[in-house]
Amino acid sequence: MLDQQTVAIIKSTVPVLQVHGTTITTTFYGLLFDNHPELLNIFNHANQRQGRQQTALANAVLAAAMNIDQLGNILPVVKQIAEKHRALGVLPEHYPIVGETLLAAIEQVLGNAATPEIIGAWAKAYGVIADAFIGVEAEKYREAAEAPGGWSGFRNFVVTRKVRESELITSFYLSPEDGGPISSYSPGQYITVRVQPEGEEYSHIRHYSLSSAPGQAYYRITVKREGEGIDRPAGVVSTYLHDFVQVGSILEVGSPAGDFVLDQRSDTPVVLISGGVGLTPMVSMLETIIAAQPEREVTYIHAAINGSLHAMKDRVADLAQSHSSLRSYVCYESPGEEDKYNRSGYIDLSWLQEIADVNSEFYFCGPTPFMKVIYKALKEWRVPDDRIHFEFFGPAGSLEE
């Protein structure tokens, strides 16, 4: 527990963090990688270049400051971040490095305004917050290692199948090289893949949602090739997987993780909404419902630019054809002449109200702009927060306008 004086000082820094938070975290990462370049083996380089990790950390630091006297309020966020830390291999010995660097960044950005009292208070607060993370992560490491078929760290998997799902999306079927059992998982979770492409100084780590129902002797991930854009380079890992990883290749894989999961205890109707490659956790949920709860009503809505970029469309169509409890809808932004679809343009509230039941559980995933549209529509429809579930690919952000 922190003393009242420390709490008061931390609270007093909230306005400063609201203004300078991202500058502080950008400075933090620069110092961290200058002094500890080995940590580049853990962090997502693409998220660093795009500023997503800096923004996510700034939001987390601000939330900690605002709730410093009631840290239980941010426990769900702590658990979510801890899931990713465990998947990445963040260890207790990393926390002192991070704490020292964060304080140095605060001093560098705020200058004389960073008084000894403020730095001292943040040092105390960081110690409490770090202990909370270390404790939660220790439990998650233990659970992962002790689960049937589980393991700690990374394990070698063989690519047994490579299936082209669309022009940009490919599925990889992964089986353990040692032939042993593998951990089960909840639909919606992801695994972590670590690669070091030729010519790269550091390894690269990515999380990929599992795209099939659990209970198989393999894991399936479905990966979009991330091409070069105006404000981003081509995806290092996705390009490597598409171009160089073939059947027989070995990949280092971390055990399943993530807290975006289907509630299988409920029989409430489900609406699954995906955009682009955001279909990966949705297909896992869909296959699970069909296999384990065949009478549960499910509506699946997928948005893509056109049919050539729509992955797994035949798989979902086949499920809808053979299961009366499933209704499937397709929305194409710019459909081709041969495309079969239900709507052209974009998903909006009026269409959702026509095809979905407001009393359902809603799960959605896709590009952030897509998710903002869906979230806004559901809020306008007055769907309760406890029935709205979503997943960010990468650092968590906000869907609020």
Is 215 annotated to bind ligand? Answer: no
Is 275 annotated to bind ligand? Answer: no
Is 281 annotated to bind ligand? Answer: yes
> Is 204 within 8 Å of 45 (Cβ atoms)?
yes
Is 393 annotated to bind ligand? Answer: yes
CA 297 to chain centre: 26
Is 384 annotated to bind ligand? Answer: no
How far apart (Å, rounded) are the C-alpha atoms in residues 279 and 302? 7
How far apart (Å, rounded) are the C-alpha atoms in residues 334 and 75? 42
> Is 25 within 8 Å of 61 (Cβ atoms)?
yes
How many residues does this entry show for the chain?
401
Is 21 annotated to bind ligand? Answer: no
Q: Is 208 labeled as catalytic in the residue annotation?
A: no
Is 370 annotated to bind ligand? Answer: no
How far apart (Å, rounded) are the C-alpha atoms in residues 258 and 274? 18
Is 85 annotated to bind ligand? Answer: yes
In 3-state terms, the chain is what percent helix, strand and coil (to 5)?
45, 20, 35
DSSP string, 81-112: HHHHHHHHT--TTHHHHHHHHHHHHHHHHHGG
Is 233 annotated to bind ligand? Answer: no
| Choice among 83, 107, 137, 287 that is catalytic | 137
Token pair listed for 393: 């690919």
How do strand 343-344 and strand 190-195 relate by DSSP bridges?
Answer: unpaired
Which residue shows structure tokens 């409490």?
Answer: 128
CA atoms within 13 A on the CB side of 238: 20
Token pair listed for 220: 């399936």
| Choice among 29, 83, 95, 341 that is catalytic | 95
Is 364 annotated to bind ligand? Answer: no
Token pair listed for 51: 């500023």
How far apart (Å, rounded) are the C-alpha atoms in residues 242 and 220? 14
Q: Is 137 labeled as catalytic in the residue annotation?
A: yes
Q: Which residues are annotated as a binding site for NADP(+)?
A: 276-281
Q: Which residues are catalytic?
A: 95, 137
Q: Which residues are annotated as a binding site?
A: 85, 190, 276-281, 392-395
Q: Which residues are annotated as a binding site for FAD?
A: 190, 392-395
